[in-house]
Structure 1
Amino acid sequence: MRTVGVEEELLLVDPETGEPRALSAAVLARASQDPGDQGVFEKELHEQMLEFATHPQADMARLHAEIVRCREEAARHAGEIGCAVAALATSPLPVSPAVGVNRRYQWMADQYRVVVHEQLVLGCHVHVAVESDEEGVAVIDRVRPWLSVLAALSANSPFWQGKDSGYSSYRSRIWQRWPSAGPTELFGSAERYHRRVADMLATGTLLDEGMIYFDVRLSQRYPTVEFRVADVCLHAETAVLLAALARALVETAAREWREGREPAGHSVSLLRLAAWRAARSGLTSELLHPATMRRMPAEAVVRALLDHAGEALAADGDLERARESAARLLRRGNGARVQRELLERTGSLRDVVTECVRRTQAA
């Protein structure tokens, strides 16, 4: 059974006002004093962000428990210095992002200017183990059409600078400003993948391989493929659903590769349209079906994903859990829908953030 790890970026906020707080260095200093949390939390590009990474897990119940524990520990460390954490992919309230003070982040700020100074967005990255780079690239080629569905499930960023963006995942639209971000064409082999990365770095436009921001990529640090399309999810259960689906997509793609089945040849242009539709609509309307690239109700497209990956989900013991979790998500709505409903009920973005702080720590 393939292992899965999850990285989540959390927003640091004032518990009273809901406004983002640039206190990541202080929170990390607190976490470093706790032997159990050393190496779990990391700095990110902006000081209003805090990232954690789980251990590789084979069992989804254990992964769920670790995500909840990491969120609780992040909240505890943040609380000790007077702030809170929220699993929000953008700040509902206006914010002026503060860039972290280190050489890498300062290079990025000098190079990309307003992109860096406006881009306070928070994602969820899922790592799934692969046996080799060759298998990993075969997987990357074959999961491309399904990434937009994962993005729709996770959508959790309707607000931008105090206003409704009109999107379910505005984070994903902001993220596309990076020159290396987005879907990729078919690679066909690990050699071609690595050649493409080397060619991109040779332009001098990117600082290092960590700035290869493909929607799904080979990890630099681990023997994994890394899914990078998702917003950080408001509810831990949704993050676990993404992890289960990502693992099943990897296993399904690897089987297709071993059986000699060719990947779908959708162009990058079509994949960009599918990603835009997922960002705009989330689960509230229609998505592009990964097989046909034609509009269908979101619920039908989610069912298609569960069917496509169903054999692998069943083999991992995740099929019923995934079906039940997806059904709850469709009924309740993703984070974007929850945030909008909270605003409609309370009339206050501050109250939206306060409630999302509470939900971030809920099991």
Structure 2
Amino acid sequence: MRTVGVEEELLVVDPTGRPAPLGPDALQVASRRGEGESPEEHERAEQEEPDAGSAAHLMPELKAQQLELGTAVCTGLDEVERELRHWRARAQSAAAATGASVAALATSPVPVDPIPTAGDRYARMLDTFGLTAREMLTCGCHVHVSVADDDEGVAVLDRIRVWLPVLTALTANSPFWQGEDSGYASFRSQAWHRWPSAGPNEVFADASTYHRLIDEVLATGTVLDTGMVYFDARLSANWPTVEVRTADVALRVEDAVTLAGLVRGLVETAARDAAPPPDVPAAVLRVAAWRAGRSGLGGDLVHPVTGRPAPAADVVGDLLEHVRPALADAGDEQLVADGLAALLRRGTGADFQRRVHEQTGDLAAVVRAAVAVTAGRSVDAAQAAHSSTG
């Protein structure tokens, strides 16, 4: 059984729904309780171990209006769900001690002036990347799945790359940007690709080719360190895992669990496959990723096998069939199938946000509804409309 771990980035918001730069204060609360790192502790860990955040605790992020959580290493998806609910609750408790809340939103619906977290590394990022770093306030979800070694890991990367845009569509949870509907289901994915190292790669073929590319990227002096190698999927620098990084943070824990199950299924399916990987050009994958971010599950996606547009439901069904044997062997088949069916029935986090906004006309109501869902409370658009006028 391959192990799996999840990292989620959350927005810290005040009672008006506006992102509040209280993440470092919340982390100080969590650190005193023994369940989080202060920004200073995290920066030291980042310099020593770029993937130190894979351990189970709360962590700072680039902006002070964020918190990041990391689960323990899990074997079953039931463990993943328990861990995510536990750490979301811990994040909410720490934020509440500062007068704030956390929301699993991949961008802020309301206008925001992002405030950087203090620290030398973050300061260097702001200095080097200018407006891109200053404007970047996005929240993603990263899934780690264990691999035997770098050779197996690179073989996995080569085979899963064509399916990664589908994961973006499934988790789309960022339709709003600076108070406006962006027209995208996942605008986070659009903003994220402004980083110079972000996006898909060509087929690597072997581990030496992969590591040579990392060395060449670092040798340009453009990215600061291995932690800024923002490939859509990569080998962890310090853990024996493949890390998939294309997803928005999921509004609902259930959808994050479905994502974790799919990623593990993709990794296991790829590791079993002895055929040459699909040699789809990275340029085509960039187009597929753009389309996934644009429409989410509400339109056609680029089919990973044919390279042609196909209804999102058909592409999701083919993804499920692709990984079904691996899911069945892990005992995950029914849970993931049910999770995908639920997503196709009720829509993504982006669909939920737009429904709340359509019924309330109030972006702050969208944030309040997201805070409730993040905490595990059931909230529909009608309830959000009522609460916004009550």
TM-score by length of 1: 0.98
Q: Is the partner of 1:22 in helix, strand or coil?
A: coil
Distance 2:101 2:206 in 1: 45
Q: Is the partner of 1:309 in helix, strand or coil?
A: helix
Instruction: List alignment gaps of at least 5 residues for structure 1.
Output: none
Q: Deviations over 1:107-135 (max 9, x none)?
A: 11001100011110110000000000010
- Which amino acid counterpart does residue 176 of structure 2 have in structure 1? F
Match of 1:342 in 2: 356
Distance 2:231 2:125 in 1: 17
Deviation at 1:36, TM superposition (A): 4.8
Deviation at 1:99, TM superposition (A): 1.1
- Which amino acid counterpart does residue 327 of structure 2 have in structure 1? L
Q: Deviations over 1:29-80 (max 9, x none)?
A: 0001113556601111010010010011111011101101111111111001
- Which amino acid counterpart does residue 119 of structure 2 have in structure 1? N
Match of 2:302 in 1: 288
Match of 2:47 in 1: none
- Which amino acid counterpart does residue 129 of structure 1 have in structure 2? S
Picking from 344, 356, 359, the partner of 2:370 is 356
Distance 1:88 1:176 in 2: 18
Counting only pairs closer than 5 Å after superposition, residues 22-33 of structure 1 correspond to structure 2 as 22-33=21-32
Q: Is the partner of 1:340 in helix, strand or coil?
A: helix
Q: Percent identity?
A: 52
* 1:236 is the counterpart of 2:284: no
Match of 1:311 in 2: 325
Picking from 280, 299, 303, the partner of 1:266 is 280
Deviation at 1:221, TM superposition (A): 2.2
Distance 2:337 2:254 in 1: 12
Deviation at 1:23, TM superposition (A): 0.9
Picking from 57, 74, 86, the partner of 1:57 is 74
Distance 1:320 1:350 in 2: 36
Q: Is the partner of 1:242 in helix, strand or coil?
A: helix
Match of 1:118 in 2: 135
Match of 2:9 in 1: 9
Match of 2:42 in 1: none
Distance 1:75 1:303 in 2: 35
Q: Deviations over 1:258-299 (max 9, x none)?
A: x3x100010011101110110001001110111011111100
Q: Is the partner of 1:344 in helix, strand or coil?
A: helix
Q: Is the partner of 2:12 in helix, strand or coil?
A: strand
Distance 1:210 1:76 in 2: 28
- Which amino acid counterpart does residue 315 of structure 2 have in structure 1? V
Contact 2:27 2:36 in 1 (8 A): no
RMSD of aligned Cα (Å):
0.9
- Which amino acid counterpart does residue 13 of structure 1 have in structure 2? V
**Structure 1 runs (4+) greater than 4 angstroms displaced:** 36-39
Picking from 35, 43, 63, the partner of 2:60 is 43
Deviation at 1:199, TM superposition (A): 0.7
Deviation at 1:361, TM superposition (A): 1.2
Match of 1:102 in 2: 119
Q: Is the partner of 1:214 in helix, strand or coil?
A: coil
